[in-house]
Amino acid sequence: GEDVEQSLFLSVREGDSSVINCTYTDSSSTYLYWYKQEPGAGLQLLTYIFSNMDMKQDQRLTVLLNKKDKHLSLRIADTQTGDSAIYFCAEGDTGNQFYFGTGTSLTVIP
């Protein structure tokens, strides 16, 4: 399978910006995805970016894609305690399989 890597933990203070990073290996994905998982729940699709785009903004969320370096990031502006969760990046392939990172656990300190 493909390799999708993320750091495991991130802590930020409430009101600061959070940046979660991800690297991937497969360049054939049409889209790259960010999911959020709250404790004891499934994964919620947060946002995704078309692989030919560099940036996508959606309210407090900004996704940056550096296709040359195969690097994806998710920036959360004005981070709130409700943003505390595990964030997964994922890429798909044309065979309809997904490859997930290990997830980054975001802790927001009040």
Partner 1 sequence: DGGITQSPKYLFRKEGQNVTLSCEQNLNHDAMYWYRQDPGQGLRLIYYSQIVNDFQKGDIAEGYSVSREKKESFPLTVTSAQKNPTAFYLCASSEIELDIDQPQHFGDGTRLSIL
Which residues lie near partner 1 (CB under 8 A)?
1, 8, 29-31, 33, 35, 40-45, 48, 88, 90-94, 96-98, 100-103
Contact present, 17 and 79 (Cβ < 8 Å): yes
Q: With respect to partner 1, which residue has the nearer C-beta, 79 or 87?
A: 87
Q: With respect to partner 1, which residue has the nearer C-beta, 1 or 15?
A: 1
Q: With respect to partner 1, which residue has the nearer C-beta, 11 or 30?
A: 30
> Given strand 18-24, what is the order of strands in its sheet?
4-6, 18-24, 71-76, 61-66, 55-58
